[in-house]
Amino acid sequence: MQDSLQKFMFEHAGVRGELVEISNTWQQILSRQNYPQAVKTILGELTAASALLSANLKFDGTMIMQIHGDGPLKLLVVECNDKLHIRATAKLAPDAVISDDATLADLIHAHGQGRFVITLDPNDKLPGQQAYQGIVPIDGDSIAVIIENYMMRSEQLDTKLWLAADDTVARGMLLQKLPKHGGIESTVEDEAEAWNRAVVLGSTLKQDELLTTDIETLLHRLFWEETIRVFEPQHPEFHCNCTREKVGDMLRMLGETEINTAVEELGKLDIHCDFCGKHYGFDKVDCAQLFVANTLVEATSIVSQSKH
């Protein structure tokens, strides 16, 4: 079974929706590390939310959601691009003890210092162009509410989210009021009413129903009385874009002295990717080469400068 994201639209109502079911991808994310249950829930919900929001990206690129927690959960990262290629990981504080019923605040905002950042990173950035970053205030007790508030404030878009995740699946639903609906006869009141109606219907969805029901059934069960236009489904997939070159760049940024000391001590650096689990080994020769290349470039530029 492929993972699926289903977009739909309420005819004559100016409301759009999406349902997403992430199972294969979610299994691959979970296979890297043994997370406590409460962490699985929040990482899964964030993964579903990231697919729902990325499906409406207006550019080719990646949406990166990052939460830097101040409690037992130090970091959550979910990346999803316009093709719905997803990777995600979480990092716990050393010796973190996390109970199954830990709340979102317990995990990431225990001292009011948690930070949630959404970055939109286009593929075709011009040299020097920065990715767009938005700070998402942690002002709700669930990922859904926090993102709903953020969408309202940053995009002025009425958005409702339902998210759920367990050991096998992450599912989510999004409803969004379209900013300008073209219908000549529809008034502001009509549109507000249509939006309210969609939200009332959506709100009959219960958490365990979302966890246990496939999205095709959910779509029918929730909105069977509405005239709904359904689009071709899209298919989220796990994909990690780590490479040996990127790891090399990261090591280079740490500095030659730092790396030499480390490789001297350990004999070999074994860097592993938190997203996909791939290992990259750098022995003394590899490490030396990281910096030789730099020296060569510098030497070349000195030579070319001295020619003038």
Q: Which of residues 256-295 bind Zn ion (CB under 5 A)?
A: 273, 275-276, 278
Q: Which is nearer to Zn ion, 275 or 282 (CB)?
A: 275
Token reading at 59: 């550019």
Q: Which amino acid is at 308?
A: H
Angle formed by the axes of helices 256-266 and 284-307, nearest 10°: 160
Q: Which amino acid is at 66?
A: Q
Q: Which amino acid is at 195?
A: W
> In Å, how far are 143, 162, 208 from 140, measured between CA atoms?
7, 14, 21
Token reading at 271: 């860097």
Which helix (H) or strand (E) is 267 found in, with range?
none
Near Zn ion by CB under 5 A: residue from 242, 251, 259, 269 = 242
Shortest distance in whole angstroms from residue 276 CB to Zn ion: 3
**DSSP, res 165:** E
Shortest distance in whole angstroms from residue 246 CB to Zn ion: 9
User: Which ranges in 122-238 belong to alpha helices (H)?
Assistant: 143-155, 188-202, 207-212, 215-223
Q: Which of residues 143-182 bind Zn ion (CB under 5 A)?
A: none
Q: Which is nearer to Zn ion, 53 or 273 (CB)?
A: 273
Shortest distance in whole angstroms from residue 275 CB to Zn ion: 4
Query: What is the spatial distance between Cα 227 and Cα 146, in angstroms, rounded to a whole number?
Result: 30
Near Zn ion by CB under 5 A: residue from 53, 240, 251, 269 = 240
**DSSP, res 234:** B
Q: Which is nearer to Zn ion, 246 or 284 (CB)?
A: 246
Q: Which is nearer to Zn ion, 51 or 273 (CB)?
A: 273
Shortest distance in whole angstroms from residue 245 CB to Zn ion: 13
Shortest distance in whole angstroms from residue 63 CB to Zn ion: 18
Q: Which is nearer to Zn ion, 197 or 272 (CB)?
A: 272
Residues forming contacts to Zn ion in the complex (CB under 5 A) are 240, 242, 273, 275-276, 278
